[in-house]
Amino acid sequence: MPITPLHATAFLFLYFKDKRRIDPLALVVSTTFIDIEPLYYILLGEPLSHRIWHSFTLALTIYPILVTIGAYVVEHLFQNKLLAIYKWAMLNPVKASYPPLNIYLISLFGGFSHIFLDMLTHREMLWVLYPFATGNPFYMRQASMIIDAALIILSIYSLCCWLKNMGEATRIFSNNQK
């Protein structure tokens, strides 16, 4: 089963490939925050469960709208702080706020990719096709290891892109100091 941070790091390379269009805040939030739902049920003392938020219906409708609104507000209210965080993380940003359409499309991708990866690895995702069907017809026990390996490989690739980006940021910083 893919651990939550791998949902974000596996796709972070997209930001490094196109910093002008890929919003890192929307990417990280949309690929990970959907897992607040199982955490909520764990805190209630219920078994780990992927329920209604882990359905394509909500992940492709309400969820991207909520993430878009949240990311847009954060990017406009805290633009300077967000830019400072991006620089601290050596993301070498070109900007800190993105147009709503970009945020929305990234959020749509994030919600879809999260559900797609989870549906192959979580038997208990009974709401994947809600309201059209219950149960998870996509679960494949053997897929879990393949998905985990793919996410680890993509995360390593993202880390390599990040390290390359850090080298470029360091070079730019050094040239500005001369």
Task: From residue 39, give the alpha-carbon distance in Å to each of 33, 44, 108.
Answer: 10, 9, 22
Range of the domain at 52: 4-177
Print pLDDT tens along the chain (178 aa). 556 777 889 999 999 999 999 999 999 999 999 988 888 888 888 876 777 888 899 999 999 999 999 999 999 999 999 999 999 999 989 999 999 999 999 999 999 999 998 888 887 787 888 878 777 888 888 888 898 899 999 999 999 999 999 887 566 555 655 5
What global pTM score does this model have? 0.86
The total number of structural domains in the chain stands at 1
Using CB atoms within 10 A of its CB, is residue 57 exposed (0-12), middle (13-18) or buried (19+)? Answer: middle
